[in-house]
């Protein structure tokens, strides 16, 4: 029993520490030297192609853009990757033909490809926090040049 308790405690503490480390920003030097790749001026086409490949009924996908691409980083602070984040809401038909509720979605684009696609889903614990974290510095930025972040 004692070994099981120690194992559970170890996993819990390890998970908590990993979550904290992952949320730290890369150093200022790393951010200045970062290569974000080319600005995705065709981001709507990139996202539309992603939807066509992933959704059962891509014609039903309704998108409302909440930002234009903004410079961002992902991954862990000690091993980050750089690119551009676009935030949007997505509504689509489910398998039964009904429309799903609109979900906040963060799309990370690098070199013309969707690298990460995260959609907040209240039925999956933690996804809301992850998407809000991804979009917190991007929401509402439409006319801000990507180079000024």
Count the domains in the chain: 1
Residue 13 lies in a domain: no
Residue 149 lies in a domain: no
- Counting runs of H as helices and runs of E as strands, what totals does the chain give? 4, 5
What distance in Å separates the CA atoms of residue 102 and residue 89, rounded to the nearest whole number? Answer: 6
Residue 79 lies in a domain: yes
Residue 106 lies in a domain: yes
Q: What is the pLDDT of residues 44-75, one digit of tens each?
A: 999 999 999 998 888 899 999 999 999 999 88
Residue 103 lies in a domain: yes
Range of the structural domain that residue 47 is part of: 25-143
Residue 18 lies in a domain: no
Q: What is the pLDDT of residues 11-37, one digit of tens each?
A: 444 444 444 444 578 888 888 889 999
pLDDT above 60 for 148: no
pLDDT above 50 for 81: yes
Q: What is the pLDDT of residues 2-16, one digit of tens each?
A: 544 444 444 444 444
What is the pTM assigned to this prediction? 0.74
């Amino acid at each position: 029993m004692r070994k099981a308790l120690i194992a559970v405690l170890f996993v819990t503490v390890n998970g908590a520490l990993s979550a904290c480390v992952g949320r730290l920003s890369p150093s200022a030097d790393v951010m200045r030297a970062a290569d974000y790749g080319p600005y995705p001026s065709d981001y709507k086409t990139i996202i539309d192609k992603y939807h066509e490949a992933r959704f059962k009924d891509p014609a039903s996908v309704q998108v409302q853009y909440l930002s234009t691409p903004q410079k961002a980083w992902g991954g862990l602070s000690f091993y980050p990757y750089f690119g551009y984040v676009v935030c949007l809401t997505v509504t689509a038909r489910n398998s039964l033909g009904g429309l799903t509720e609109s979900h906040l979605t963060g799309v990370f684009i690098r070199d013309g490809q969707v690298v990460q696609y995260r959609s907040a889903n209240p039925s999956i614990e933690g996804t809301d926090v992850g998407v809000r974290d991804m979009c917190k510095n991007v929401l509402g930025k439409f006319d801000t040049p990507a180079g000024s972040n």
